[in-house]
Amino acid sequence: MKKLCIVAALLAFGISFLPAQIKKPIIMVVPSDLWCNTNGYVQEMDVNGVQVVYPDYRKALMEDADLMLVISKINELMTEREFPLKNLESALKTLEIEEAENAVTMSREGSTLAESPLDKLKRTARADIWIQATWTVNKVGPKQSVTYNLQGLDAYTDKQIAGISGTSEMAFVSTNEVPTLLISAILMDWENFVYQLQEHFNSLQENGREVRVGVKAWDSLDYGLETEFGGKELTEIVEDWVSTHTQGGRYSLTNVTENDMSFEQVMIPLYDERGRALDARSWLRDLQKHLRSVYQVESKLMMRGLGYAQLVIGER
């Protein structure tokens, strides 16, 4: 009886025993590279003298009605589960505006490394997970079925963190009913897919988000990363900072020379102290400020997509 009175009093003051709302990852649905290549929606770019093929999402959205329907229907399923979404078409439009603005302005605080179209889109959309959709239509006489594959990819590492695949039942359907047939097949294993997505994000909240960072020195600099500041080499200062500011001190120093430090599997918190989402650039910016304020070491902050950032020591 006494316990019931205490509970009633707490409830009267607005104190609830219900669990806090679970944070969910931001999702963006895109066609897979395979689907884009199979259907001719690709673009070639010259990267250091090598022709690299990338998916052309703009062209695919403009020309393939099924793609728009598939993305819309998967978005509906994610909305039903209260996952926050980024729309591919809207993200592409935002990127176009950003590129137009960047053509006439330059950021003094940071700039980008050589970025692929996908890196730029990831940086603009800022989704946690990309869902890549692939499907093919199978025809047997007047009947059709759809074979599909859904992959959940971590937008910061490109690692697959969820996946389901399958084939719908054969049915008498018209061509414009293919997206409906696809969704009916997806629904057969949808619970499993959603569970995998949420489990990955839960792990990120507990263990941190994986990124890569680098610290380099300009060739023209009259000192290197092995130069001492206050009795410590700059390499030690940088690594001490990284160790202190990673989640659980988890990172891997894969290369260290007089002019170059490379860190991989750097586990950074999902959010800063204000609750804002962190990416590699925003996290590394604090190191830039630390080096400037404590050691008067200037640096330029550069980024590629969401998951890689680099400090170049020696100038802004």
* Strand (E) or helix (H) holding 183: helix 178-186
Q: How far apart are the first and last CA of the chain?
A: 68
pTM of the predicted model as reported, rounded to 2 decimal places: 0.85
Mean pLDDT of the chain: 87
Considering the four listed CATH numbers 3.40.50, 3.90.320, 3.30.230, 1.20.1070, the one that applies to the domain covering 27-204 is 3.40.50
Q: Which two tokens stand for residue 40?
A: 């001719």
Q: Is the pLDDT of residue 203 over 50?
A: yes
- Region class of 108: left (phi > 0), else alpha (psi between -120 and 50), else beta: alpha
Q: Which residues pair with 150 in a beta bridge?
A: 133, 164
Domain boundaries, the chain: 27-204, 208-313
pLDDT in tens, 264-275: 999 999 998 888
pLDDT in tens, 8-65: 443 443 433 334 457 899 999 999 999 999 999 999 987 777 888 999 999 999 999 9
Q: Is the pLDDT of residue 140 over 50?
A: yes
Q: Is the pLDDT of residue 131 over 70?
A: yes
* Strand (E) or helix (H) holding 88: helix 88-102
The pLDDT, as a whole number, for residue 1 is 46
The pLDDT, as a whole number, for residue 11 is 40
Per the CB < 8 A criterion, the answer to whether 273 and 264 are in contact is: no
The pLDDT, as a whole number, for residue 266 is 98
Quickly list DSSP for 62-85: HH-HHHHHHHHHHHHHHHHTT--B
The pair phi, psi for residue 288, each rounded to 5°, is -55, -45
- Lowest average pLDDT, out of 6-10, 174-178, 225-229, 231-235, goes to 6-10
CA 32 to chain centre: 15
Per the CB < 8 A criterion, the answer to whether 186 and 148 are in contact is: yes
Residues 250-271, mean pLDDT to the nearest whole number: 95
pLDDT in tens, 69-128: 999 999 999 999 999 999 999 999 999 888 877 665 544 445 566 788 899 999 999 999
Q: Which two tokens stand for residue 9?
A: 């009093």
The pLDDT, as a whole number, for residue 80 is 94
Output the CA torsion sign for 25, 310, 117, 146: negative
CB atoms < 10 A from the CB of 301, how many?
20
Per the CB < 8 A criterion, the answer to whether 131 and 30 are in contact is: yes
The pLDDT, as a whole number, for residue 45 is 84
Q: Which two tokens stand for residue 192?
A: 């499993």
CB atoms < 10 A from the CB of 242, how many?
21
CA distance 70 to 88: 12
Which DSSP letter does residue 280 get?
H
Q: Is the pLDDT of residue 149 over 50?
A: yes
